């Protein structure tokens, strides 16, 4: 990230020293830098956010989840913006905000880790 900004600064300095006839090239290069930033930085973050929102919308009772704090549990009940998890081995029920769920654990993956 730091090297990319240094390259951009060096490129802008080169543009200032370039003749006036190459302004179209300069504009094209600026647009290219913005396109690179969009495809490398902005678009992946947007995809990740959409995937996370979809996962949170599709939560259902009985799903095994891992919270952002690292707790593993099974969803017992769902409300608008919260959920209750049953945490093994003591069957403790804790209430969390939906946004605290980091991932849903597949039954196959949970079986492999239990072995």
Q: What confidence score (pLDDT) does residue 24 get?
A: 79
First to last CA, the chain: 42
> What's the pTM?
0.64
Q: What confidence score (pLDDT) does residue 71 get?
A: 93
Confidence of residue 26 (pLDDT cuts 50, 70, 90): confident
pLDDT per position as a tens digit, 34-71: 999 999 999 999 999 999 999 999 999 999 999 999 99
**Domains identified in the chain and CATH numbers:** 2-56 (no CATH), 59-114 (2.30.30)
Q: What confidence score (pLDDT) does residue 107 get?
A: 74
pLDDT at position 1 over 80: no
**DSSP calls for the chain:** -HHHHHHHHHHHHHHHHS-GGGHHHHHHHHHHHHHHHIIIIIHHHHHHHHHHHHHHHT--TT-EEEETTS-EEEEEEE-SSEEEEEETTTTEEEEEEGGGEEEEEPHHHHHHHH-
pLDDT per position as a tens digit, 93-108: 999 999 999 999 987 6
Contact 48, 72 (CB under 8 A): no
pLDDT at position 114 over 60: no
Contact 101, 56 (CB under 8 A): yes
Confidence of residue 111 (pLDDT cuts 50, 70, 90): low
């Amino acid at each position: 990230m730091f090297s990319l900004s240094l390259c951009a600064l060096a490129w802008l300095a080169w543009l200032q020293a370039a003749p006036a006839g190459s302004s179209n090239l300069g504009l094209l290069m600026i647009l290219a830098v913005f396109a690179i930033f969009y495809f490398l930085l902005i678009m992946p973050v947007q995809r990740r956010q959409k995937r996370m929102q979809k996962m949170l919308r599709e939560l259902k009772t009985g799903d095994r989840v891992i919270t952002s704090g690292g707790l593993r549990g099974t969803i017992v009940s769902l409300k608008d913006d919260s959920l209750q998890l049953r945490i093994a081995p003591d069957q403790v029920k804790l209430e969390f905000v939906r946004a605290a769920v980091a991932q849903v654990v597949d039954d196959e993956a949970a079986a492999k880790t239990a072995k």
